[in-house]
Amino acid sequence: MGSTLFFLYEDRPGVIGAIGRLLADAHINIEDMRNPHDRETNRSLAILKVNQQVSTEVMERIRTEITARAAFYIKF
C-alpha cells in the first residue's frame, strides 16, 4: 500500500531536497512527484506518490522542517 502526500509551502531553495531527505531517512521511496507553482503567491504544492504508508510522525517532521502551510496524505 502506498500514499499520496501533499505539502503547500512558500517556495524557496531546499524544500524539495528536505522532503526527499526526510522520506529517505524513513526508508520511503518517492515513485512520482509533481510540484505546481503559483508565481503570484510564490506558493508551491508538492504532490508525491510514495511506495508505502507514511506515519504521522514523518508527516509532522516534514511539515515542520519546510514550514508547510498545509500537509496531508491519502492512503490507498
* Domain count for the chain: 1
Residue 31, domain CATH: 3.30.70.260
Q: Which domain holds residue 71?
A: 3-75
pTM of the model: 0.94
- Residue-by-residue pLDDT tens, the chain, 76 positions: 789 999 999 999 999 999 999 999 999 999 999 999 999 999 999 999 999 999 999 999 999 999 999 999 998 7
Contacts 24+ apart (CB under 8 A), 48-52: 48/4, 48/5, 48/7, 48/19, 48/23, 49/2, 49/3, 49/4, 50/2, 50/3, 50/4, 50/5, 50/23, 51/2, 52/1, 52/2, 52/3, 52/28
State the pLDDT at residue 46: 99
